[in-house]
């Protein structure tokens, strides 16, 4: 009951809360090692309504990512939790310094994908990546095209099992931020591509060839959002089992800058 009341108060009263001032953090809090297990309990009690019970997202963003959009490090994440983001995320003014540190510690664990032993060979996998023309849609270390997600740190975001599943059934692991759309102007042919930006009045699209389009919605006859659809083909029958293992091994080696 206490948690529910505090959560409700956070939503209703957070605009009145004073900004989180890290100069006032106690020496005890600064010296204490954050407890991610305690942070998980606090997260589920106070944050899961928006972010999901396991941080997988809902009304709020998916936190299973190694790079949080609004927090570059643990210190800034603590400040973000303490201050909130108006008007969408209420300030956690009702948590102590130590509790905020615990929640931040738990949130950071959500984006850490453990290293796994994989059966394939990453060197051979690099050749498979080139032979399969993966660079036509993806970037690794600055090389390739940005039609699909950048794969430079893909194994920091996805484990080997999920990488294998994506290669065989890409429609099952589409990122939350990815949306294929089809825009039909009042005059002209339909354009299918990846949504880059969208607001109430316009939408920007990049097609598979890398061309950019910007449309006013008032000038469109139809705008289809092809949820659950991806231009990425399945490689289940295009590659042998050995080639798939090698490609997964290559992708599993992409964890971004150390």
Q: Classify residue 175: in a domain, yes or no.
A: no
| Residue 134's CATH number | 1.10.760.10
How many domains is the chain built from? 3
Q: Classify residue 146: in a domain, yes or no.
A: yes
Task: Provide the angle, in degrees to the nearest 10, between the axes of the packed helices 241-252 and 160-168.
Answer: 130
For 168-189, the pLDDT digits (tens) are: 999 998 877 789 999 999 988 9
Regarding whether 126 and 29 lie in a shared domain, the answer is no
Q: Classify residue 73: in a domain, yes or no.
A: yes
For 138-150, the pLDDT digits (tens) are: 999 999 988 888 8
Regarding whether 94 and 45 lie in a shared domain, the answer is yes
CA 63 to CA 50: how far, in whole Å? 11
Regarding whether 202 and 80 lie in a shared domain, the answer is no
For every residue of the chain, DSSP letters joined together read -HHHHHHHHHHHHGGGSPPP-GGG--HHHHHSPP-HHHHHHHHHHHTHHHH-TTS--SSSPP--SSSBTTBSSHHHHHHHHHH-BTTTB---TTS-HHHHHHHHHHHHHTT-PPP---SS-HHHHHHHHHHTTGGGT-EETTEE-TTS---TTHHHHS-HHHHHHHHH-GGGS--TT--EEEEEESSS--EEEEEEEE-SSEEEEEETTS-EEEEEGGGEEEEEE-TT--SPPP-TTTS-HHHHHHHHHHHHT-----
- Nearest partner of 97 among 46, 51, 48, 35, judged by Cα: 35
Regarding whether 95 and 128 lie in a shared domain, the answer is no
Q: Classify residue 30: in a domain, yes or no.
A: yes
Given a contact cutoff of 8 angstroms between Cβ atoms, the answer to whether 155 and 120 are in contact is no
Given a contact cutoff of 8 angstroms between Cβ atoms, the answer to whether 198 and 214 are in contact is no
Regarding whether 60 and 87 lie in a shared domain, the answer is yes
Residue that is last in its domain, among 88, 109, 130: 109
- The structure's pTM equals 0.62
Regarding whether 201 and 130 lie in a shared domain, the answer is no
Q: Classify residue 116: in a domain, yes or no.
A: no
For 83-133, the pLDDT digits (tens) are: 998 888 999 999 999 999 999 988 888 877 666 788 999 999 999 999 999
Regarding whether 20 and 45 lie in a shared domain, the answer is yes
Q: Classify residue 114: in a domain, yes or no.
A: no
Q: Classify residue 258: in a domain, yes or no.
A: no
Q: Classify residue 115: in a domain, yes or no.
A: no
Angle at 59 between CA 22 and CA 168, to 5 degrees: 110
Regarding whether 80 and 103 lie in a shared domain, the answer is yes
| Residue 191's CATH number | 2.30.30.100
Long-range CB contacts (within 8 A, 24+) of 108-111? 108/36, 108/74, 108/77, 109/36, 110/54, 110/55, 110/63, 110/64, 110/65, 111/63, 111/64, 111/65, 111/66, 111/67, 111/68, 111/156, 111/157
| The pLDDT of residue 114 | 66
Q: How confident is the model at residue 18 (pLDDT cuts 50, 70, 90)?
A: very low
Q: Domain limits at 158? A: 122-169+234-252
Regarding whether 165 and 238 lie in a shared domain, the answer is yes
Regarding whether 145 and 60 lie in a shared domain, the answer is no
| The pLDDT of residue 220 | 96
Regarding whether 98 and 15 lie in a shared domain, the answer is yes
Regarding whether 248 and 161 lie in a shared domain, the answer is yes
Mean pLDDT of the chain: 84
């Amino acid at each position: 009951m206490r948690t529910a009341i505090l959560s409700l108060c956070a939503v209703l009263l957070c605009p009145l809360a004073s900004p989180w001032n890290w100069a006032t953090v106690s020496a005890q809090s600064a010296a204490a090692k954050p407890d991610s297990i305690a942070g998980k309990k606090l997260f589920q009690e106070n944050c899961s309504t928006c972010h999901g019970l396991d941080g997988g997202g809902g009304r709020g963003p998916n936190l299973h990512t190694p790079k949080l959009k609004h927090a570059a490090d643990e210190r800034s994440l603590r400040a973000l939790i303490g201050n909130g983001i108006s008007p969408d995320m209420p300030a956690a003014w009702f948590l102590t310094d130590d509790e905020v540190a615990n929640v931040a510690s738990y949130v950071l664990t959500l984006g850490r994908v453990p290293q796994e032993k994989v059966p394939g060979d990453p060197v051979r996998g690099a050749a498979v990546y080139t032979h399969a023309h993966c660079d036509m849609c993806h970037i690794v270390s600055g090389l390739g095209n940005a039609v699909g997600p950048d794969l430079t740190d893909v194994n920091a975001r996805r484990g080997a099992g999920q990488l294998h599943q994506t290669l065989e059934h890409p429609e099952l692991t589409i990122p939350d931020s990815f949306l294929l759309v089809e825009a039909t102007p009042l005059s002209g042919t339909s354009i299918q591509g990846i949504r880059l930006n969208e607001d109430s009045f316009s939408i920007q699209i990049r097609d598979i060839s890398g061309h950019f389009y910007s449309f006013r919605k008032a000038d469109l006859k139809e705008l289809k959002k092809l949820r659950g659809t991806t231009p990425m083909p399945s490689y289940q029958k295009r590659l042998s089992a050995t080639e798939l293992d090698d490609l997964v091994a290559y992708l599993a080696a992409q964890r971004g800058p150390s």
